[in-house]
Amino acid sequence: MALSFYNSLTKTVEPFVPLDTAGKHVGLYTCGPTVYNYAHIGNFRAYIFGDIVKRTLLHFGYSVNHVMNLTDVDDKIIRDVQTSGKSLEEFTQFYANAFKKDCGLLQILPPTHYTRAVEHIDDMVSLIETLLEKGFAYKSDDGSVYFDVRKDPQYGQLSALQISAQKTNAAGRISADEYEKDNVEDFALWKAWDEKDGDVFWNTSLGKGRPGWHIECSAMSMKYLGESFDIHTGGIDLVFPHHENEIAQSECATGKPFVKYWLHNEWLMVDGKKMSKSAGNFHTLNSLVEAGFDPLAFRLWVLSGHYRTQMNFTLEALTASGIALTRLRNHYRELADVDGALPDAKYLDMFSLCLSDDLNTPKALAVLWEVMKDDSLDGATKKATLRAFDSVLGLGLSTIHAESIPEEVLSLVTRREEARTQRDFALSDTLRTQISKLGYTVKDTDNGPKIFKM
């Protein structure tokens, strides 16, 4: 069974063929958060999507080198750090920690490398030096360095924009930077220090200043994944200018194709509108948790839509996902656990087929619900099948068994083990009876006692 993805670069669904000639190793980059605030649920749709890409690759037998950056210096951070009374490091570390905690709650697997921009300034400077040497970049009067989009005939390949049509699209970000530039489309690679930057600057061969946002991802992705790598993921809002600029900088510097497959998830709307603080429809994961929702109900809700469709988030929809998740967990908890049980081959195939078809998680979930309802499967097979699905879906099923055994039962099992070691079989039997009165049974195996719900 071959994987296929919709590639935003070619605008078609393509079979996935990794650059690794042996076909087993995959390089994956996900644009991480800008750590100046809590990530919102729209951001987390993108990170759950990146996680599904990765878990699907693992499910199909690939090894994945996954890099996610933490943007810990950019315009927004500099704006907010000044009023925070904290150092850049303290300020960004707080939100980086909050982000990692939220990812944990959402069962998003940690990347192989979390890369912080401030720890890679030298890599960014050397990439900018290369672009200056090759004539793709120029220094402006104030010492900032800009990428000259007119020198790159491929510019616009991802977002399918014509240079002349870009003015209005690009103008927002570039004018917000308030730096001198020859063309409105040219974007900053290096920003010379000015007083608004306060004590946030680096003294480098390019002068005193800081990197632009786009160059951060080019430098860090190529450092850990090579000049060409397989997959880059992100939200559709990053296509222009961020990803377009990443491609331009990287390909002009190396002369090689940067990324083979670009995968973008669509927008998350809230109550039919774009989420914003001013519209009063802004949610962070924490605000949902405080309102009593399970983080994994949000994950299940995200997976119920295809990543290339816009989704409309409502609290009613989240409530329904929470109910479905509870039903799944309760069903799973009641299934017998038998060592060595294997997933049902037919259902596992159906599930893998859905994922192979451009990551169709709604269809994969439909297979999951079908397995749950199928009474012809024996409990152990059903449990093994659901567990195999969960290695991709990440709904936390594998942790349920351990969680569901009450302390009282665990302590009786420990006492029974002690009794058995001392060959006090009368006490051991009494304890077993007490355990069974609580609804559990103990099986002695070569690897110690196993506890099952009766």
CB nearer to Zn ion: give 250 or 385: 250
**268 contacts Zn ion (rule: CB under 5 A):** no
Residue with tokens 């924490």: 286
Instruction: Pick the closer one to Zn ion by CB: 31 or 247.
Output: 31
Q: Which of 309, 443, 73, 290 is nearest to 81 (CA)?
A: 73
Using the minimum distance from each CB to Zn ion, give the nearer residue, 71 or 381.
71
| Min separation Cβ 48 and Zn ion, Å | 17
**Restricting to residues 23-82, which ones interact with Zn ion according to CB under 5 A?**
31
- Specify the residue, 217 or 431, whose C-beta has the smaller distance to Zn ion: 217
SS3 60: coil
Q: Choose the stretch contacting Zn ion; rule: CB under 5 A; options: 3-11, 211-219, 254-262, 399-407.
A: 211-219
- Shortest Å distance, C-beta 334 to Zn ion: 44
Q: How far is the CB of 269 from Zn ion (least distance, A)?
A: 23
Count of CA atoms in the C-beta half-sphere (13 A) of 199: 8
Give the nearer residue to Zn ion in terms of CB position, either 30 or 166: 30
Minimum Å gap between C-beta 289 and Zn ion is: 27
In the complex, the smallest distance separating the C-beta of residue 31 from Zn ion, rounded to whole angstroms, is 3
Stretch that binds Zn ion, among 60-68, 215-223, 254-262, 423-431 (CB under 5 A): 215-223
* Complex with Zn ion: residue 238 or 397, whichever CB lies closer: 238
Q: By CB under 5 A, which span of 157-165, 217-225, 314-322, 404-412 interacts with Zn ion?
A: 217-225
For residue 210, count other CB atoms closer than 10 A to its CB: 26
**Should residue 217 be labelled a site residue for Zn ion when binding is judged by CB under 5 A?**
yes
Pair of tokens at residue 96 = 């980086």
Q: Is 96 in the site for Zn ion (CB under 5 A)?
A: no
Q: In angstroms, what is the minimal distance from the CB of 217 to Zn ion?
A: 3
Q: If binding is defined by CB under 5 A, does position 222 make contact with Zn ion?
A: no
Write down the least CB distance from residue 242 to Zn ion, Å.
6
Where do contacts with Zn ion occur on this chain (CB under 5 A)?
A: 31, 217
